[in-house]
Amino acid sequence: MRFAKVVTGFAISAALAIGTTACSMPGENGSATNSATTDGTVVIGFSQATQQSPFYVALSDAARQTAEGDGNEFYFADANGDVTKQNNDVQDLITRGINVLVINPVDPKGIAPSLAAADAAGIKVVTVDRPVESGAAAFVGRDNKAMGQIVGEAAVSALGPAGGKIIEIQGDAGGAVARDRHEGFAAAVSAQPNITVIPGPYSDYIRANAVTAMQDLLQAHPDLKAVYAQNDDMALGALQVLAENNRADVKVFGVDGLMEAVRAIADGDEYVATALNDPNAEGALAVQTAVKVARGETVDEFIDAGTGLVDKSNAASLLGDTTFAKAPQPPA
C-alpha cells in the first residue's frame, strides 16, 4: 500500500533524531532489561497525561483492554494535563504494588520525581506517545517530526506553485509532540518561497478550542489558503468554522488519522491529508512492551508503532467503524 512506503522512507530520519527530538530513544545504552522481574500476573500502572482528546481516550482504553485481556492487572490514573498531579498519581500507583509503570508524560522533564520514585522502588518504566531523555526502559510511539513532514509535503503539493498563507493551529505550549509536528511541517514547506506559515494559538489538541481560535484567525487572515492543525480534532474544528463561513477554497491538513477526518478526506475536497497515528495499536503495544520488561525480557529502546500518509488516494480503503484508522505495522 502507498502509505507503507512512507514508513520505510522515514526510518533513517527517525534514527538520526535519537536524543534530540520527541521521538528520540529514551536511553543511551542499547536495549534494556528489567532486573526485578515477575513470572506471574503483571500489575501495570498507567499514568495518562490527559483524557481531553479522543486520541488519549482510545490509547487508554486499548492499554486497559490489552492488559486485562491477557490476564494482567491494570491501574489507571488521569493527570488531566497537570504534571504535579501526575507525579502524585505515580506515587499512588507505586503504593498499589505495580510491577511496571507505563506513563505518557504531561511534561517529559517535569516527571523527574516520578522516574526517581519508580527507580527507588525497583519499578521499570515504559513511556508511551511522549518519551523522556533518560530513565525509561523503552519508548513506544511514533516519529512526530516525520508525521509533520509528510503532511507538509502534501500541503506543498496541494497548494502548487501559487503557494499561499497557511495558518498553523498548535497543540500544547512546550510539548515535544507539538514541537516536532511543527518542525516536521516547517521542514517540508520552508523551501517554498511562495508559502508563508502563520503560527496560530495553542489549542491543546481540543476541537472546541480550535473552533474559537479559527473564528479569530479567519477574521485576521481572510486571505489564507490552508490550515495545518497539529491533530485532526483541531483540524475538524477549523473545518467547521470554514464551512460556516463558506470558505471551501481553504484546504485543511491534520495529524492522527481520526476516522472522522479520514471520512472527510474520502468524501470531500477541503480536508486534504492527515498522518496515521493509531492509538489502539500504540496502547496495546505499550502494554505488551511493559509486560516483557516486567518479565525481564530484552526490548528495544524505541518501538515504532507505525505511521503513513492518508490522502484522497487511500482514504476510502481505510474507512471503518473504529475511532482512528489503523496504522500499518512496521516489519518485526
pLDDT (tens digit, 9 = 90+) per residue, 19-74? 333 333 333 333 333 345 677 899 999 999 999 888 999 999 999 999 999 999 99
Sign of CA dihedral 225, 228, 232, 233: negative
The total number of structural domains in the chain stands at: 2
DSSP state letters, 127-162: EESS--SSS-SEEEE--HHHHHHHHHHHHHHHHGGG
pLDDT band at 14 (very low <50, low <70, confident <90, very high): very low
Neighbouring-strand partners of residue 224: 165
Once rounded to an integer, what is the mean pLDDT over residues 266-289? 97
Residue 250 located in a structural domain:
yes
Closest to 297 in 3D by CA, of 54, 11, 118, 33: 33
DSSP string, 7-34: HHHTHHHHHHTTTTSTTS-S-SSS-B--
**Structure confidence at residue 270 (pLDDT):** 98
Closest by CA position to 272, among listed 221, 227, 219: 227
Residue 142 has pLDDT above 90, yes or no: yes
Is the CB of residue 254 less than 8 Å from the CB of residue 240? no
Report, in this order, helix, strand and coil percent for the chain, each rounded to 5. Answer: 40, 20, 40
Q: Which whole-number Å values give the CA distances from 20 to 28, 114, 148, 211, in the listed order?
A: 12, 22, 16, 33
Q: Answer yes or no: do 151 and 259 share one domain.
A: yes
Q: Is 299 helix (H, G, I), strand (E, B) or coil?
A: strand
Q: Report the chain's mean pLDDT, rounded to a whole number.
A: 89
User: Long-range pairs for 63-72 at CB < 8 Å and ≥24 separation?
Assistant: 63/102, 63/128, 63/283, 63/284, 63/286, 63/287, 65/284, 66/283, 66/284, 66/287, 66/288, 67/42, 67/287, 67/291, 70/287, 70/291, 71/41, 72/41, 72/42, 72/43, 72/44, 72/287, 72/291
Whether 153 maps to a domain, the answer reads yes
Same domain, 268 and 283: no
**Helix axis angle, 112-120 relative to 83-95, nearest 10°?**
10
| Residue 330: per-residue pLDDT | 56
**Which residue from 158, 189, 172 is spatially nearest to 271, judged by alpha carbons?**
158
Cα(113)–Cα(94) distance, integer angstroms: 12
Judge if 227 and 163 occupy the same domain.
yes
- Answer for the pair 201, 170: CB distance below 8 angstroms, yes or no: yes
- What's the pTM? 0.77
* CATH code of the domain covering residue 256: 3.40.50.2300
Q: Is the pLDDT of residue 76 over 80?
A: yes
Q: Do 296 and 265 share a structural domain?
A: no
- Residue 33 in domain: no
Residue 165 sits in the same domain as residue 272: yes
Residues paired with residue 297 on neighbouring β-strands, in sequence order = none
Both 81 and 133 in one domain: the answer is yes
Nearest to 147 by CA among 305, 318, 286: 305
pLDDT of residue 15: 34
Of 34-38, 144-148, 307-311, the one with minimum mean pLDDT is 34-38
User: Comparing C-alpha atoms, which of 277, 181, 162 is closest to residue 229?
Assistant: 181
pLDDT at position 176 is 84
Q: Residue 236: inside a domain, yes or no? A: yes
Range of the domain at 296: 43-141+279-300
How many Cβ atoms are within 10 Å of 244's Cβ, its own excluded?
12
In tens, the pLDDT along 153-182 reads: 999 999 999 999 999 999 999 888 899 999
How many whole angstroms separate alpha carbon 238 and alpha carbon 232? 10
Q: Is the pLDDT of residue 264 over 70?
A: yes
How much is the pLDDT for 36? 55
Residue 172 sits in the same domain as residue 187: yes
Residue with cell 502524585: 88
Same domain, 137 and 284: yes
Gap between the Cα atoms of 75 and 90, Å rounded: 10
Q: Does 30 map to a domain? A: no
| In the chain, % of residues over pLDDT 90 | 82
Q: What is the pLDDT of residue 331?
A: 53
Q: Is the pLDDT of residue 11 over 50?
A: no
